[in-house]
């Protein structure tokens, strides 16, 4: 990611000077930049980082005195609602390459440029972690054995449909962009109570869905030849929160459920090549 941000800075610094110095080979005359108006297509390549805020909620504990004539074991042991979130609540991070293509149309009026763009690209995002909650063998409550926790996420593609608004300085265009984002997201969580548990078992759950969120960012584009341009761009993507529940593997514990909440955001830095039709 640092390499792509560095390239962005280089293009921002050098673009206007390069654009001013462009000339038509053989005659030494300045190259007259045509209007940015038109439709275009292109490809992009960059890097992506993703972070998932994982939060576990709605953990029900078995009431005191459970197991007697009037109360059944219905939830987790006393203390679980405290020690499980303390171990499970975390941010999972991942990074990878991104690459794909884009199509768009823009219109120029004086120095202002506006339009719309759609893109789709691969995002190689994966993240995971493992943790152990406190329990009766490692400094936690005596009522519960330690829980062995695993959490993971992945995302393999991202698509956005965005508006573009910019200001052209000859062959250099500075712009902001924002719109709707679509991405596949996959989550998997598990906690197991094994050695020493009165009734060993696990809470296991996962989700696989297409999320809808928003994307916003900006960039700089330089037309280095008639109808051809390169760009450096940054996008922030927020894909909202996915919620799902897990239940204990022994169905007699009817309230031993957990709500798993996952909020994914992505940061993308990329360079692209466009050709105007």
Beta bridge partners of 66: none
Q: Identify the pLDDT of residue 27.
A: 43
Distance CA 257, CA 260 (A): 10
pLDDT tens track for 17-56: 444 444 334 444 444 566 899 999 999 999 999 999 999 9
Tokens standing for residue 211 = 């999320």
Under-70 pLDDT residues of the chain: 1-34, 64-72
Pairing mode, strands 172-193 and 112-132: unpaired
Overall domain count for the chain: 1
Contact 176, 215 (CB under 8 A): no
Prediction pTM value: 0.85
**Phi then psi for 86, rounded to 5 degrees?**
-60, -35
Domain range for residue 259?
2-276
Enumerate residues 6+ apart whose C-beta is below 8 A from 110: none
pLDDT tens track for 239-258: 999 999 999 999 888 899 99
Closest C-alpha to 47, from 97, 122, 105, 101: 97
Q: Identify the pLDDT of residue 212.
A: 98
Q: Identify the pLDDT of residue 63.
A: 77
């Amino acid at each position: 990611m640092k390499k792509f941000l560095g390239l962005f800075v280089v293009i921002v610094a050098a673009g206007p000077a390069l654009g001013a110095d462009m000339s038509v080979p053989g005659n030494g005359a300045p190259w007259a930049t045509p209007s940015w108006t038109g439709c275009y297509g292109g490809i992009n390549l960059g890097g992506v980082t993703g972070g998932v805020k994982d939060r576990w909620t709605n953990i029900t504990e078995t009431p005191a005195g459970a197991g007697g004539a009037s109360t059944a074991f219905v939830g987790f042991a006393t203390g679980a609602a405290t020690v499980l979130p303390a171990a499970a609540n975390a941010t999972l991070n991942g990074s990878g390459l991104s690459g794909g293509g884009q199509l768009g149309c823009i219109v120029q009026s004086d120095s202002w440029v506006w339009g719309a763009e759609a893109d789709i690209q691969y995002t190689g995002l994966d993240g995971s972690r493992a943790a152990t909650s406190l329990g009766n063998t490692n400094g936690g409550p005596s009522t519960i054995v330690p829980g062995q926790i695993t959490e993971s996420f992945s995302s393999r593609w991202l698509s956005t449909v965005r508006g573009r608004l910019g200001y052209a300085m000859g062959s250099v265009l500075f712009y902001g962009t924002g719109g709707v984002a679509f991405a596949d997201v996959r989550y998997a969580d598990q906690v197991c109570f094994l050695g020493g548990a009165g009734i060993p078992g696990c809470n296991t759950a996962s989700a696989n869905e297409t999320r809808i969120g928003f994307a916003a960012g900006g960039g700089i584009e330089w037309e280095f030849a008639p109808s051809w341009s390169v760009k450096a761009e940054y996008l922030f993507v927020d894909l909202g929160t996915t919620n799902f529940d897990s239940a204990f593997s022994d169905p007699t514990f009817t309230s031993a459920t957990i709500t798993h909440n996952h909020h994914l955001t992505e940061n993308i830095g990329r360079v692209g090549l466009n050709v105007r039709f």
